[in-house]
Amino acid sequence: MTAPTLNYVSCPDAGGTHRMAYWLWGDAAAPHVVVCVHGLSRQGRDFDALAQGLLARSSTPLRIACPDVVGRGRSDWLADPMGYGVPTYVADMLALLAQLNAQAPVRTLDWVGTSMGGLIGMGVAGTPGLPLPAPIRKLVLNDVGPAIQWASLQRIGTYLGNTGRFESVQQAADAMWQISSSFGPHTPEQWLALSQAMVKPLPEGGFTLHYDPAIAVPFRALDEKMAAAGQAALWQAYDAIRADTLLLRGAQSDLLARETAAEMGRRGPRARLVEFEGVGHAPTLISPSQVEAVASFLLPDTAADEKPFRGAG
């Protein structure tokens, strides 16, 4: 399968409903579902290389859903920008999982979350009593944890919401590279492929970034005291996770401190850590070594390598 299909799910919100887009790879009836959720200003096509790698490796049918979180990509924009936050995103993912389960029963559920997508995954996996079609069996947190470095949030705040206007996709890709070089080495072809789904044409000509600039409104309302207070809730969610957990970290990450990663290995699901040299925040999961790290965790070579779901108790 060289390209995914575009689908939509209706999600409730304070003003009524909104549509969330998601890209579906693989067998639409496969009982093994992998949900891949992107970072703050990205979109679901970020996972093209990973999805293709997982499908090539899997010996059993696989269904991979890569949503455009609301306000990004092909999804609707919210009327109230203060709705852009993890509680809304978790609720939307529950709607997505319910739709996937209605289309074909979900028996095995895994999650891959980059940055914000990892925070959403912690909310889904670490909140008891959510109506999941199956418990999250394996959780990949890509360069994110309960404690986020304040300096990194300040750095992101300098460009978030500035969607710009560009004469070409290449010009947009070049501009994004200026703020995203911490993603690590990429060939020009790899970066252009990552960038194409990040832009959309403007009616008057040219291109702009494919997200609602208003996602920056709640982000900029955050101060250091509020961020610190939120960490307690995130640690509580992390400690409640029962899924087998893999933590990926860019060795030069300014968002996920090495001390936080070490603490995540000692508490809660006791995440195993894989670091990538020459990469900051965040690994894009397109290089062979990064795809292999995720694939070998989600799709072990033999059944004997499988770790059972660690239930409560």
Residues 174-216: pLDDT tens digits? 999 998 989 999 999 999 999 999 999 999 999 999 999 999 9
Which comes out higher in pLDDT, residue 33 or 15? 33
> Is it the case that residue 134 has pLDDT exceeding 50?
yes
Lowest mean pLDDT among 74-88, 171-185, 208-222, 291-305: 291-305
CA–CA gap between residue 212 and residue 230 (Å, rounded): 24
Q: What is the pLDDT of residue 311?
A: 39
**Choices 2.40.50.140, 3.40.50.1820, 3.40.50.2000, 3.30.230.70: CATH for 5-153+231-305:** 3.40.50.1820
Phi/psi of residue 44, nearest 5 degrees: -65, -20
Confidence of residue 264 (pLDDT cuts 50, 70, 90): very high
Which comes out higher in pLDDT, residue 86 or 313? 86
Q: How many CB atoms lie within 10 A of CB 309?
A: 15
CA neighbor of 93 nearest in space, from 118, 71, 120:
120
Query: What DSSP letter does each residue of 230-295 carry, written as one string?
Result: HHHHHHHHHHH--SEEEEEEETT-SSS-HHHHHHHHHSTT--EEEEETT--S---S-SHHHHHHHH
Q: How many CB atoms lie within 10 A of CB 216?
A: 21
Q: What is the mean pLDDT of residues 69-94?
A: 96
- In angstroms, what CA-CA distances link 27 with 61, 105, 111, 301? 6, 12, 17, 20
Q: Specify whether the CB–CB gap between 69 and 77 falls below 8 A.
A: no
Q: What is the mean pLDDT of residues 252-259?
A: 95
Percentage of the residues of the chain whose pLDDT score is greater than 70? 96
CA–CA gap between residue 115 and residue 47 (Å, rounded): 13
- CB neighbour list of residue 104: distance below 8 Å, 6 or more residues apart: 28, 29, 30, 31, 63
Q: What is the pLDDT of residue 14?
A: 84
Confidence of residue 149 (pLDDT cuts 50, 70, 90): confident
- CB neighbour list of residue 108: distance below 8 Å, 6 or more residues apart: 31, 32, 33, 134, 137
Q: What is the mean pLDDT of residues 262-284?
A: 97
Average pLDDT over the chain reads: 93
Confidence of residue 113 (pLDDT cuts 50, 70, 90): very high
Handedness of CA 148, 151, 153, 155 (dihedral sign): negative
CB burial string 28-51: b at 16+ within 10 A, e below: eebbbbbbbbbbbbbbbbbbbbbb
Q: What is the mean pLDDT of residues 62-80?
A: 97
Q: What is the mean pLDDT of residues 274-296?
A: 96
Confidence of residue 302 (pLDDT cuts 50, 70, 90): very low
Q: Specify whether the CB–CB gap between 280 and 253 falls below 8 A.
A: yes
Lowest mean pLDDT among 72-86, 93-107, 241-255, 298-312: 298-312
Q: What is the pLDDT of residue 305?
A: 40
Percentage of the residues of the chain whose pLDDT score is greater than 90? 84
Confidence of residue 313 (pLDDT cuts 50, 70, 90): very low
pLDDT tens digits along 217-241: 999 888 888 888 889 999 999 999 9
CA neighbor of 118 nearest in space, from 247, 223, 233, 239:
247
Residue count (the chain): 313
